[in-house]
């Protein structure tokens, strides 16, 4: 028999030995089908969980670490400025003592949940540029009756200052709460002054006080979203000696801007405002140097605009006689600042060192006259005058309108010593 016939015969004999249970085959197929459906549904649920988890993780990265199920309410990036131990509030679990839900925690109009680290980030992001150290924060664990806080030591180059803030829920309609943001008819020691601002759904009040050798600026603000926001700044670090600077670090205008930004830090739903973490929100340096320069401008020069940022300022000085505008600039440099120092040529009786210079500026035909004064306390005041509206523009007169003698008189004025 040929080989192909042998193979065919063997296959027929083998096939006849199989007994097929058609019912078992059908039932097995049904079982496999049901198993596939269950697996498909489980996979769909897993995808949904992953999506939700991804959204939560994205929100956490956007807003900073969330307290979630944390068991601590305090975040300290370094020891407390006053050396005290942290105080951890009791977590709110959203239930009453009888085991029922706490309405205040569940109500979006009164709920608040922000972590200690988020509070630190909020404070860091709103302050003017400077060195930030010894950050510390506490969470309220979602308890609307508690305030979430943050503090740090801030240094803009003119001395270290402790800055603190707190945020808690508040009833805008409560007369007692509204009274907190209104100045009293008469301030009493240790308060030195009080200024306030009211609006339809809130307001703020700032009290400047002097106690135990330090100045303190304390602002309470009632935000439109229903939060009581407190911002406090010292002209030093309490319990660490005397003042490090003459005044508290923020001007009234900066304080107003800081308070306004902090008022928007939390949404009406009791969570941090994501917008605060995704854009530049630092409050700019104040215009106090420009304003001081305006008051010290030599006779015959009328300020016609200006600007500045923190430790620098300028004015456009209009010469009434010659009917020209020129650029007059002032800069304050703190003790120990990096960078080259001028070449001091003489010393005044009070110990102030003086340096004068003359050099060309960027603009065509523009000359820069400059006087530097190094005061005995280490503060350097630089006053510069140009014979142009701006240093990079063309000259509009032969020489700057302010003489070196007038520049020196402005540079050594004692009012600069009280500015920072």
199-254 per-position pLDDT tens digit:
877 899 999 999 889 999 999 999 988 899 999 999 999 999 899 999 999 999 89
What domains are defined for the chain?
60-278 (no CATH), 288-418 (2.60.120)
Residue 415: DSSP 8-state: G
Q: Could you give phi then psi for residue 47, rounded to 5 degrees?
A: -60, -40
Q: CA-CA distances (angstroms) from residue 146 to 252, 313, 317, 320?
A: 28, 42, 52, 60
Residue 417: DSSP 8-state: G
pLDDT digits (tens, 9 = 90+) for 68-93: 323 334 566 654 444 443 333 333 33
Question: Residue 82: its pLDDT value, please?
Answer: 47
Which of the two residues, 366 and 338, has the higher pLDDT score? 366
**Is 292 in contact with 416 (CB distance < 8 Å)?**
yes
Rounded percentage of the chain residues whose pLDDT exceeds 90: 56
Q: Rounded CA gap, 64 and 270, in Å? A: 15
pLDDT digits (tens, 9 = 90+) for 7-56: 344 444 444 444 444 444 444 454 555 555 444 444 444 433 333 333 33
Stated length of the chain: 420
**Is 336 in contact with 311 (CB distance < 8 Å)?**
no
Confidence of residue 139 (pLDDT cuts 50, 70, 90): very high
Question: Residue 371: its pLDDT value, please?
Answer: 98
Q: Could you give phi then psi for residue 8, rounded to 5 degrees?
A: -65, -40
3-state SS assignment for residue 257: helix
DSSP 101-147: B-HHHH-TTT-----HHHHHHHHHHHSPSSEEEEEEEE--TT-TTSP
3-state SS assignment for residue 81: coil
Q: Rounded CA gap, 115 and 121, in Å? A: 10
pTM, to two decimals: 0.70
């Amino acid at each position: 028999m040929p080989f192909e016939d042998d193979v065919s015969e063997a296959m027929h004999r083998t096939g006849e030995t199989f007994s097929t249970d058609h019912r078992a085959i059908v039932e097995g197929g049904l079982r496999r089908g049901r198993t596939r459906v269950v697996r498909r549904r489980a996979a769909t649920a897993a995808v949904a969980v992953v999506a939700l988890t991804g959204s939560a993780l994205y929100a956490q990265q956007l807003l900073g670490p969330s307290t979630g199920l944390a068991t601590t309410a305090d975040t300290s990036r370094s020891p407390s400025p006053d050396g005290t131990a942290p105080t951890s509030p009791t977590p709110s679990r959203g239930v009453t003592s009888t085991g029922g839900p706490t309405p205040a925690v569940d109500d979006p109009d009164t709920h608040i949940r922000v972590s200690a680290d988020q509070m630190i980030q909020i404070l860091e992001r709103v302050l003017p540029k400077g060195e930030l150290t010894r950050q510390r924060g506490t969470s309220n664990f979602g308890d609307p009756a508690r305030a979430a806080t943050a503090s740090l030591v801030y240094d803009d180059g003119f001395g270290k200052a402790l800055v603190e803030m707190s945020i808690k829920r508040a009833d805008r309609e409560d007369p007692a709460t509204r009274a907190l943001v209104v100045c009293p008819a008469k301030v009493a020691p240790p308060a030195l002054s009080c200024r306030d601002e009211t609006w339809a759904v809130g307001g703020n009040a700032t009290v400047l006080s002097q106690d135990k050798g330090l100045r303190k600026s304390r602002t309470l603000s009632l935000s439109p979203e229903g939060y009581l926001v407190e911002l406090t700044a010292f002209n030093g670090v309490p319990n660490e000696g005397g003042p490090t600077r003459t005044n508290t670090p923020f001007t009234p205008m900066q304080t107003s801007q800081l308070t306004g930004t902090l008022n928007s830090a939390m949404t009406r739903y009791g969570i941090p405002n994501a917008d605060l973490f995704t854009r530049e929100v630092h409050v700019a340096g104040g215009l106090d140097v420009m304003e001081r320069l305006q008051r010290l401008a030599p006779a015959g020069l009328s300020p016609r605009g200006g600007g500045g940022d923190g430790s620098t300022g300028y004015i456009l000085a209009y010469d009434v006689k010659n009917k020209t505008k020129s650029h007059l600039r002032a800069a304050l440099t703190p003790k120990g600042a990096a960078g080259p120092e001028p070449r001091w040529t003489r010393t005044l009786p009070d110990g102030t060192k003086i340096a004068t210079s003359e050099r060309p500026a960027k603009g065509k035909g523009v000359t820069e006259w400059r006087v530097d004064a190094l005061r005995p306390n280490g503060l350097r005041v630089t006053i510069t005058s140009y014979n142009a509206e701006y240093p990079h523009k063309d000259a509009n007169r032969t020489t700057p309108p302010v003489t070196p003698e007038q520049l020196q008189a402005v540079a050594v004025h004692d009012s600069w010593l009280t500015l920072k």
